[in-house]
């Protein structure tokens, strides 16, 4: 090889060197181009993978949001609820939606006071339950709103549509008195109750369910004895009563009770079965201290009961009682037993309920 190079003339040697340099440059350029193309392809692949990761992350976030929203709605539903439980939950939700300052879902609405209300709904009668659907039920109710600005009515309608209790406004009738700008409305609303969100436990043999029958007679004080000025089936000690349309929560009337002495009381005698557990509930508005409890037939309280809130708000009071005595025996019980602590105290009572239960939850 060296002998061959020595034979070349100087010009041939320069030409050979130039050719070698050009060849090396060509190889270098081709290699560089291929490397750049390879890097560009890798960059494109990385960019595609990044887009895929972003997409999957967005899908995960959206799925979590949807699942959270579904769970929030599903907790408001149960296939085990009775019609009374559905009605009670719907009434509490509608009362929540009537507040000017909207409470969070699940929170109890504050006392019903006109200056705190977007619209005023005095009462909501029991509706109809449709069990014909597979996996869901529909409960339809009708109620009226008192006269209010049309803007308030529109905002209340929007809240109904956005409620997490799956409410549907079936009909809306608006009325207005002459020479006024305020309007009243009649709503027909349907709530759809889906099945339980979680998997039910295995079905096991269980005793027959307890019948959900309200044992209270004349629970909304609609039947009245004009001769005695007393609601039928109720007993008063040291107090006067008048039939009222104020603070109604069920039916067509409530009862306003005024104490004429300290420790005045209103009660109804129930013949209950010893050993059984009962759920007592009622709606009460108090302007002075009062106690809600149960007592034996002589008036001795069975437990300390519950003290009513004396702030003029309407509240639902609910507690459980287990009847003392030999199991199976019939025991006369004052249930409810409402005691007005001081003379001239005033309470308004409505929607009294006493039902046998499986036991305290």
Band of residue 331 on the pLDDT scale cut at 50, 70, 90? very high
Predicted pLDDT at 77: 55
Predicted pLDDT at 360: 47
What is the arithmetic mean of pLDDT over 318-335?
91
- Model confidence pLDDT, tens digit, residues 152-164: 999 999 999 988 8
Q: Which residues of 298-319 are buried (b: 16+ CB within 10 A; e: fewer)?
A: eeeebeebbebbbeebbbbbee
What is the average pLDDT score of the chain? Answer: 85
- Model confidence pLDDT, tens digit, residues 281-291: 999 999 899 99
Please, are residues 252 and 277 in contact by the beta-carbon 8 Å criterion?
no
The full set of domains in the chain, from first to last, is 83-194 (3.30.70.60), 224-357 (2.60.120.260)
Total-model pTM = 0.44
Predicted pLDDT at 247: 87
Predicted pLDDT at 159: 92
> What is the rounded CA–CA span in Å between residue 55 and residue 61?
10
Band of residue 71 on the pLDDT scale cut at 50, 70, 90? low
DSSP helix/strand/coil, 112: coil
Return the percentage of the chain with pLDDT > 90, whole number.
42
Taking alpha carbons only, the member of 201, 263, 198 closest to residue 237 is 263
295 sits in the region (left: phi over 0; alpha: psi -120 to 50; else beta) called beta
Q: Rg of the Cα trace of the chain?
A: 38
| Lowest-confidence segment of 79-93, 159-173, 191-205 by average pLDDT | 191-205
> What is the rounded CA–CA span in Å between residue 285 and residue 279?
20
For the cut 80, the answer to whether the pLDDT of residue 208 exceeds it is: no
The tokens 């929607």 sit on which residue? 351
Band of residue 201 on the pLDDT scale cut at 50, 70, 90? very low
Please, are residues 281 and 316 in contact by the beta-carbon 8 Å criterion?
yes
Q: What are phi and psi of 170, to 5 degrees?
A: -80, -40
> What is the rounded CA–CA span in Å between residue 74 and residue 164?
9
Predicted pLDDT at 198: 44
> What is the rounded CA–CA span in Å between residue 191 and residue 185?
19
Predicted pLDDT at 361: 45
User: Between 113 and 353, whose confidence is greater?
Assistant: 353
Band of residue 202 on the pLDDT scale cut at 50, 70, 90? very low
Handedness of CA 119, 124, 128, 134 (dihedral sign): positive
């Amino acid at each position: 090889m060296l002998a061959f190079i020595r034979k070349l003339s100087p010009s041939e040697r320069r030409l050979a060197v130039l050719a070698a340099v050009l060849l090396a440059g060509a190889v270098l350029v081709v290699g560089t181009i291929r490397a750049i193309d390879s890097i560009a392809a890798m960059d494109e692949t990385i960019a595609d993978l990044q887009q895929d990761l972003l997409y999957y992350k967005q899908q995960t976030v959206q799925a979590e949001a949807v699942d959270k929203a579904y769970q929030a709605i599903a907790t408001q539903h149960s296939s085990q609820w009775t019609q009374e439980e559905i009605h009670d939950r719907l009434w509490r939700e509608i009362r929540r939606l009537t507040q000017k300052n909207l409470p969070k879902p699940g929170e109890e609405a504050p006392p019903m006071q006109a200056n705190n209300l977007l619209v005023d709904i005095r009462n909501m009668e029991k509706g109809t339950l449709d069990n014909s659907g597979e996996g869901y039920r529909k409960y339809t109710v009708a109620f009226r709103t008192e006269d209010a600005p049309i803007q308030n009515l529109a905002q209340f309608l929007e809240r109904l549509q956005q409620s997490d209790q799956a409410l549907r406004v079936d009909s809306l009738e608006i009325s207005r008195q002459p020479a006024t700008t305020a309007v009243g409305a009649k709503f027909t609303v349907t709530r759809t109750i889906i099945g339980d969100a979680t998997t039910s436990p295995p079905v096991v043999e269980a005793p027959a369910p307890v019948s959900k029958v309200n044992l209270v007679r004349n629970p909304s004080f609609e039947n009245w004895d004009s001769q005695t000025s007393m609601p039928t089936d109720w007993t008063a000690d040291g107090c006067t009563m008048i039939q009222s349309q104020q603070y109604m929560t069920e039916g067509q009337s409530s009862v306003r009770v005024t104490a004429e002495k300290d420790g005045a009381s209103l009660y109804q005698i129930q013949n209950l079965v010893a050993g059984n557990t009962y759920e007592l509930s009622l709606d009460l508005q108090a302007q002075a201290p009062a106690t809600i409890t149960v007592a034996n037939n002589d008036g001795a309280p069975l437990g300390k009961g519950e003290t009513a809130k004396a702030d003029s708000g309407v509240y639902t009071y609910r507690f459980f009682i287990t009847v003392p005595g030999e199991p199976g025996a019939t025991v006369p019980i004052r249930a409810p037993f409402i005691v007005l602590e001081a003379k001239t105290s005033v309470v308004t009572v409505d929607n009294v309920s006493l039902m046998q239960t499986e036991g305290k939850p």
